[in-house]
Amino acid sequence: MSEEIKPKSYTSELLGAAFLMATSAVGPGFLNNTTVFTQKLLASFGFVILLSVILDIFAQLNIWRIITISGKRAQDVANETFSGTGHFLAVLIGIGGLAFNIGNIAGCGLGLNVITGWDLSFCVMISAIFSIGIFLFKEAGKAMDAFTKILGFIMIALIIYVCYVSNPPLGEAATRTFAPLQIDALATVALVGGTVGGYITFAGAHRLLDAGISGKEHIPQINRGATTGILITALIRFLLFLASLGVIVAGAQIDTKNPSASVFQNAAGEIGYKIFGVVMFCAAITSVVGAAYTSVSFLRSLNSKIEQYQRFVIVGFIVFSTLIFLLVGQPVKVLVVAGILNGFILPIALGLILLASNREKIVGDYKHPVWMQICGWVVVLVMAGLSIYTLINDFGKILQ
C-alpha cells in the first residue's frame, strides 16, 4: 500500500505573511503614537488597544479569506465587483504607501543614527540600500519572510526587557483595559488605520498569493495566518503601552520631539536609548520592505510593464521615498496625514471585499459565513464614522 502524502502545511509561508503584516504595521508612527496616546489616556489606552485588536481581527479575517479563496489580488477583486474601483483603490494605496514610506525611511535613519552616531542623511541612505538589497535576491520572497521574522523576534525580545524594567502598574492597566475612564476617537482611528489601514491590510494576503496559497481548502491556514499577524502586532502594542505607562506614572519627562525614545531612555538609561535605536531601526526597515512590496503589488494591475519588472519598480519606490525625505523632510506630519488617509481606505477596501464575498464569479461555490460578513460591516461602519469624526474635529489641528 502506498504511503499517504500529507498536504503541505505552508508553516514558513504563513508565519512569513503574518510577520510581514505585523512588522509592516509596527513602524515609526506605531512607536510614536503608542507613547503619545498612553501619555494622554494613561491606563485607559489599554481599552483602545483592545478595541483596535477586535476590529483588526474581523477586518483581516474577511480580507485574507476572500483574497486567498478567489486567488486574486484585492484590486482585481474590486474591479470585478465594480468596474474601475480596483484601479482607484490601487492609486489610493500607492499614495498612502508612499507617504508612509517617507516616514519609514526617516525612522530607519533615526534608529541607525542612535545606534552609531552617524549623520542622519547618511544613515537614511544606508538603510535604503539595505532594504533594496532584500529585493535583489533571486528568491526575494523567501528573503523577505526570513528578514521580517528575524527582526520581528528581535523587536519583541528588546521591548519585553524595557517593559520589565519600567515596572508598569499591571493591575491598573488590566482594569482600565476593560473599564476605561476615557475613550478617544482619534486614538482609535490612528491605531486601527496604522495597524490594518491602507497597504497594511493586504500585505499578508498578497504574500500568501505569491507563495501559491489560494483556494478554500486553505481556510484553516488562512485564518491562522491572519490571526497570528494581528496578535503579534497586539503583543508588541501592549508591551510598548505597558513600558510607556510605567515610565509616565513614575513621573518621568517625555520629550515631545521623540516620545518613544524618552520611554526607553527613562526606563533603562543609556542602554535603553541604544535599545530604542535597534527597535526603531527594525520597526522602520521592515515597514519599508512591507510598504514597498505591498504598494507595488497593487500597482502591478495598472500596467503590464509593472508586472514584468516588479522587483525594479519596488527598488524605484524605495529610492523615490528616500529622495523625497532627503529633499523635503517633515516625516511626522506626513505619517499623521497618511494615517488618516489609511483610516479612510480601510472601510472602502473592506466594503468592496465584503460585497465581493457573495459574487460567484469571484469566490466560486464558497459560502462566506454570515457572522463574518456582519462583523466586517460593523468594522466598515465604525471606522467610517470615526474617520469622518476625526477629519472634522482633528485634521486642522494636526496640520498646524
Tell me the mean pLDDT in the region 310-328: 86
Indicate whether 140 pLDDT > 60. Answer: yes
Residues 181-202 have pLDDT tens digits of 887 777 777 676 666 666 777 8
Query: What pLDDT shows up at residue 72?
Result: 87
Task: Kindly indicate the confidence band of residue 6, based on its pLDDT and cuts at 50, 70 and 90.
Answer: very low
Indicate if the pLDDT at residue 382 is higher than 50: yes
pLDDT at 241 over 50: yes
Long-range contacts of 306-314 (CB under 8 A, 24+ apart): 311/135, 311/136, 311/140, 314/135
Q: How confident is the model at residue 331 (pLDDT cuts 50, 70, 90)?
A: low
Predicted confidence (pLDDT) at residue 119 exceeds the cutoff of 80: yes
Whether the pLDDT of residue 92 is over 50: the answer is yes
> Binning pLDDT at 50, 70 and 90, where does residue 394 land?
low
**Stretch (H or E) spanning 247:** helix 219-249
How far is the CA of 280 from the CAs of 28, 38, 310, in angstroms? Answer: 7, 18, 28
The CA-CA-CA angle for residues 51, 261, 243, to 5°, reads 45
Domains of the chain: 11-399 (1.20.1740.10)
What's the chain's average pLDDT?
A: 81
Q: How far apart are CA 273 and CA 265, in angstroms?
A: 5
Using CA atoms, how far apart are residues 185 and 312, in angstroms rounded to an integer? 40
pLDDT attached to residue 29: 74
Q: Please, are residues 64 and 205 in contact by the beta-carbon 8 Å criterion?
A: yes
Residue-wise pLDDT for 206-230, tens only, equals 888 877 777 888 888 888 888 888 7
pLDDT attached to residue 3: 42
3-state helix, strand, coil in the chain (%, to 5): 85, 0, 15
- Among 186, 177, 173, 308, which Cα is nearest to 246's? 173
Say what the pTM is: 0.81
What pLDDT, on the 0 to 100 scale, is given for residue 341?
66
